[in-house]
Structure 1
Amino acid sequence: MKEPLVDAANYSLAGDGKRLRPIVTWVMGVNQYGLNPSAIVPLLKSLEYMHTASLIFDDLPSQDNASVRRGRPTVHQVYNIAIAELTGLFLTQKAIEEQTELDQFDAKTVLQLIQYSAQITEVMCMGQAMDLDSKGKRLTVEQLNQLCFYKTGIAFEASLIMPAILAKANESEREALKTFARHAGIAFQIKDDLLDVEGDVSLLGKPIGQDAENNNSTFVSILGLDGAKKEMWDHYCLAIEALQEVPRNTAFLKHFMNYIVNRDH
């Protein structure tokens, strides 16, 4: 028998994604916390599995009904809806399995990381449910900020906090990183909203104008183009300010913020 779930999982993972989360985790974990590069490979894989699973669910006909992701047809288009749903679940479990392979760290620390990972997944599900419930409704900027944190900022937070957990960083440092991630995630989503209006389809790897077509409230629809750009730069500044409380070299995270606001896809 063929292995449709493995094939579908590999198809979704091999797309032209940015791999931002494992990249951030690698740089912070290895360069700033001094973690063994080979020791954190399971964590990098788990982050990408979790993120890819969230995209598969997001694209389903019952949710955003997207036909293109990472520059090619979505999983449910290539296979079918049932296989897409099972592949998303399969990848979330593979993520947990990878985290249990962090065998160069003490068991209590790994258990703490797995607990945190489960909480992050719960919040992401809540964020997606909020997003679906908001369709066709006019949201306030505060509601959009909250939604963006649940959908995007929380995943950036995970890529920073997970290596910090393994390195046993103190609580004040983790809180500063969480603040950074919150504003970085909102800035990232605002840029996505801007690209959905002004972006180049060939660079984005997905259609533009989807938000307007789906009647979604966005920073652009609420604030206009200029207002959305100002809001994005406000969150950029707040993210950079939060890094002052991180007792490490934060040059990479500053470059990361510059990438977020200046990217073309």
Structure 2
Amino acid sequence: MKPGDSTSVWLQRSTERLDQAILRYVDEQVSVASGLKSAIHYAATGGGKRVRPLLTYATASLAGKELDQVAGLDACAVALELFHTYSLVHDDLPCMDNDDLRRGRPTVHKAFDEASALLVGDALQTMAFQLIAQSALNDAQKVQVITSLSTAGGMAGMAGGQAIDLASVGKQLTQNELEQMHRLKTGALLRTAVQIGAIAIHLNDQEKKSLDVFASALGLAFQVVDDVLDASSDSQTLGKTAGKDAAANKPTFVSLMGLDGAREFARQLHQEALDSLSIWGDNADLLRAIASKVVNREN
């Protein structure tokens, strides 16, 4: 697929495909706890950039097949987005980042209550693993995907990165320390998104390694751009509270490098990500398009 309108159409259709799959899966859930199901529906269908599942889809497209032809792919993409949404719901809680706005709407604990938000996150996380376990992946793939996702969410991933973030308020971290924190907190799940796509199409270890270079650079670039937008945009554009990091005295790439320095670092990481895809030729154009979407976004 060549860059241009066809790529834009693919991104739009794949996002719609994912949104429909999420809605279908959530609606199919049977629960006597109707209030909890309503809160889960609110969290899971609230939109968002869908970058992670799009990366899974784009990676799977390296096989030259239509998405429908890759067994278990939709289940993996939905699971990944539910897992990501769980992390956002918990991150927004007063005991964590204490935010009132997410994706242009009140956060779950504001729209419902704190206890509901905690349970929504718990449920979304377990629903993600249930989806993978019941998917059309073969048993070996299921183990690989579950291992990848659980690693990304645990102490060696998001939870560990968030713990470092909370402990770093009011401190000045070095660039290496800041990068390490965000490779865990933000980057780990982006890397897993690419890994899952690679697992779904049976790529070999060397092919997975080359894609991990791409995902690692993109994951860090995502956070650098987040820091730039937090410091330079407004809440309406972002869909979440702007200027929160500075107000909370958190170390960021902007506080370390300045706005221009952070923008240049994001550009360098973007180029590193693109360079790592050279071995795939035109087959990786969808991954390139997503990388550009991540770095050039406004929210």
Whether TM exceeds 0.5 here: the answer is: yes
Let me know the Cα RMSD of the aligned residues. Answer: 1.7
- Report the 3-state secondary structure (helix = DSSP H, G, I; strand = E; otherwise coil) of the residue aligned with 2:206: helix
Which one of the candidate residues 227, 242, 246 is aligned to 1:208?
A: 242
Q: Which amino acid aligns with 2:277?
A: L
Q: Is the 8 A contact 2:58 2:197 kept in 1?
A: no
Task: Output one character per residue of 1:89-118: Cα deviation in whole Å (capped at 9) or x when no partner.
Answer: 110000000001222x32122122212221
TM-aligned CA deviation for residue 246 of structure 1: 4.5
1:86 aligns with 2:95: no
Q: Percent of counterpart pairs with the same letter?
A: 36
1:133 aligns with 2:164: no
Q: Which amino acid aligns with 2:259?
A: L
TM-aligned CA deviation for residue 22 of structure 1: 1.3
**After TM superposition, what 4+ stretches of structure 1 lie above 6 angstroms from structure 2?**
none
Query: What's 2:43 paired with?
Result: 12
Query: What's 1:243 paired with?
Result: 277
Which one of the candidate residues 96, 103, 110 is aligned to 2:142?
A: 110
Structure 1: stretches of 5+ with no match in the other structure = none
Q: Which amino acid aligns with 1:116?
A: S
Q: Which amino acid aligns with 1:108?
A: A
Q: Which amino acid aligns with 1:135?
A: V
TM-score (norm 2): 0.83
Within 2, Cα distance between the matches of 1:189 and 1:208? Answer: 15
TM-aligned CA deviation for residue 4 of structure 1: 2.1
TM-aligned CA deviation for residue 166 of structure 1: 2.1
Q: Is the 8 A contact 2:51 2:290 kept in 1?
A: no
Q: Which amino acid aligns with 2:140?
A: K
Task: Output one character per residue of 1:207-260: Cα deviation in whole Å (capped at 9) or x when no partner.
Answer: 211011111111111111111111111111211122134577111121222112
Task: Output one character per residue of 1:31-79: Cα deviation in whole Å (capped at 9) or x when no partner.
Answer: 5363625732211110111000000111010110000001011111121
- Report the 3-state secondary structure (helix = DSSP H, G, I; strand = E; otherwise coil) of the residue aligned with 1:77: helix
Query: What's 1:21 paired with?
Result: 52
TM-score (norm 1): 0.94
TM-aligned CA deviation for residue 203 of structure 1: 2.0
Query: What's 1:182 paired with?
Result: 216
- Report the 3-state secondary structure (helix = DSSP H, G, I; strand = E; otherwise coil) of the residue aligned with 1:249: helix
TM-aligned CA deviation for residue 132 of structure 1: 1.0
Task: Output one character per residue of 1:96-143: Cα deviation in whole Å (capped at 9) or x when no partner.
Answer: 00001222x321221222122211111211111111111111111111
Task: Output one character per residue of 1:144-176: Cα deviation in whole Å (capped at 9) or x when no partner.
Answer: 111121122111111111121122211111111
How do 1:37-56 and structure 2 match up within 5 A? 39-56=72-89
**Cα distance, 1:238–1:256 mapped onto 2, change above 3 Å:** same
**Cα distance, 1:263–1:235 mapped onto 2, change above 3 Å:** same
Q: Which amino acid aligns with 1:49?
A: L
Within 2, Cα distance between the matches of 1:216 and 1:6? Answer: 34
Q: Is the 8 A contact 2:70 2:200 kept in 1?
A: no
